[in-house]
Amino acid sequence: MHDSLALLIDHWKADPHSTYNSWFLWEERLKNFRSIRRGIGEVVKDIEAGTFGNAYRGSTLETVVGSVAEQRQIFKGADHAFLWKPKLRIPDIYENADNQRAFARLLHACDCCDTAEAVIDAIQRIDAQQIKGLGPAVANLLYFIHPTLVLPFNTAIVKGYNAVTGSNVKLGRWDHYLSMREGAIRLNTQHRTRLSNDLGALAGLLFEIGSGRYQAPPLATDSARLQAWEADLAQVRAESAALQKQWAAERESDTTHTQIQGWLRDLGKALGFEVWIATNDRGRAYGDGQLGDGCTAELTRASTAGAESVRLIDVVWLEAGSGKVCAAFEVEHSTSIYSGIVRMLDLALGTTVGAGSTLFLVAPDSRRDDVQLQLRRPAFSRVSELGIRYLPYSQLQQHREAAARFGSGLKPMLEMSQLLR
């Protein structure tokens, strides 16, 4: 079958009307990659800002998916999976805000990563959400972010893959898609000199086989190839099960982190400060609303240098009216304490907002030694000058209500926290 497929590839490439010549070698193709990737970024921005809306028509998603669907015959109909189907209420990203944000996280994660492992992790995370109607058709968007890591997906490509490999990949399931991706990469590697590092070339061939334009080579050992595909599927499912356990621990960590941010938000307001919540956390669910409810929308005194890092500081208390930073808090539940200190240094040394402010690392009591160890690193030799303080969870939990009722200014926080030398 290997030699037969090689002959088919050569014949396909020589055909002036094949997808290889009409689309893969199309001069506009690379331009489309850039514009589609920019469009995906706009979709993420709209969802994060809460301005995406609840309809496909007229959205930034319609614009970017429409651009994909215009990619010659191979992507015709790519928009069907994203069209709202009212009777089925799918795909469920127009009426469910949590699902919409999960979709944005998938797109953003893939846009920011550069490894196959990170892409697969993002896909398996969205699969775990079980969002109705949001299946492997999304791979057509991800392909334009990572053409060497993601295989395009549609009915014809799946049919072509099954015909060539003897597999039994089914539509609409992410685990089946991931198993197909593994097999396709092996197939592409076997014929790399004839195909391309860009998986679009192989996808074009599979598309034309699946749509009936070309006949798949005869399969000599159907059972062996089916077993290989089943092994791929079993491996994908085993990895997914392991990741489910990991994500459960991460969700518990996120919940605790958000809870601490909420305590600091409410305490800051009670003590008369304006409160800033990290830009990437404002939309987190907290109480009956969101973590960013009632908080200031900008750090008015942030300078350009280090400003992006400062905006990711978990909680900042500002003097009402003036915008002067009075206190900043980095909550380090289970993540790297190092990164929290770096953001504190950016605040104090890289911007104008740190003068006279008090900086706090908020962490579980069990991480006291970790905090102290990091503060002693030679790279943080100036930390002692900044007076970064350690605030244990237990002290915040025990004293926050009394501080809110009877405290004033930063005095309660100084009493709860400690300097570590």
Q: Which pLDDT score is estimated for 221?
A: 57
Give pLDDT, residue 302: 47
Q: Which of 413, 299, 300, 302 is nearest to 360 (CA)?
A: 413
Pair (57, 15) in one structural domain: yes
Whether 122 maps to a domain, the answer reads: yes
pLDDT of residue 380: 64
* 285 and 190 co-located in one domain: no
pTM greater than the 0.75 cutoff: no
Query: What integer pLDDT is reported at residue 323 of this predicted model?
Result: 81
Residue 189 located in a structural domain: yes
In a domain, 325, yes or no: yes
Same domain, 210 and 306: no
- Does any domain span residue 356? yes
The tokens 């200190």 sit on which residue? 341
Total count of domains within the chain: 2
| 343 belongs to a structural domain | yes
Give the residue numbers spanning the domain of 305.
251-419
Q: Does the residue 230 lie in any domain?
A: no
Residues 183 and 263 in one domain: no
Question: How far is the CA of 415 from the CAs of 273, 367, 392, 394, 419, in angstroms?
Answer: 18, 19, 12, 13, 11
Cis check: omega of the bond before 91, within 30 degrees of 0: yes
Q: Please check whether residue 241 lies inside any domain of the structure.
A: no
Verify that 411 and 314 share a domain, yes or no. Answer: yes
Q: Per-residue pLDDT tens, the chain, 421 aa: give them.
A: 457 888 889 989 988 888 998 899 987 777 788 889 989 999 999 998 889 988 998 899 999 998 898 887 889 888 999 999 989 999 999 999 999 999 999 999 999 888 999 999 999 999 989 999 999 999 999 999 999 999 999 999 999 999 998 888 999 999 999 999 999 999 999 998 999 999 999 999 999 899 888 888 877 555 665 566 567 657 756 776 766 666 565 555 566 888 999 999 999 999 999 999 988 788 888 888 899 999 998 775 544 444 555 777 889 999 888 888 889 898 887 666 776 777 777 776 655 444 557 889 898 888 888 888 777 766 566 666 677 888 999 999 999 999 999 888 899 999 999 887 6
* 14 in the same domain as 131: yes
Give pLDDT, residue 216.
Answer: 85
Same domain, 164 and 71: yes
Same domain, 154 and 45: yes
Task: Mark whether 210 and 298 lie in a shared domain.
Answer: no
User: In the numeric block, which tokens belong to residue 112?
Assistant: 């920011």
List phi, psi (to 5°) of 322: -90, -25
Question: Whole-angstrom Cα distance, residue 311 to residue 296?
Answer: 12
145 & 261 share domain:
no
Residue 159 lies in a domain: yes
CA distances from 96 to 45, 52, 67, 159 (A): 17, 12, 25, 32
Q: How many CB atoms lie within 10 A of CB 398?
A: 12
Closest CA to 53 of 83, 93, 85, 80: 93
Q: What is the distance between the alpha carbons of residues 193 and 9, in angstroms, rounded to a whole number?
A: 11
Report the C-alpha dihedral over residues 37, 38, 39, 42, rounded to 10 degrees. Answer: 130
Residues 88 and 201 in one domain: yes
- Residues 98 and 144 placed together within one structural domain of the fold: yes
- Domain boundary residue among 220, 237, 267? 220
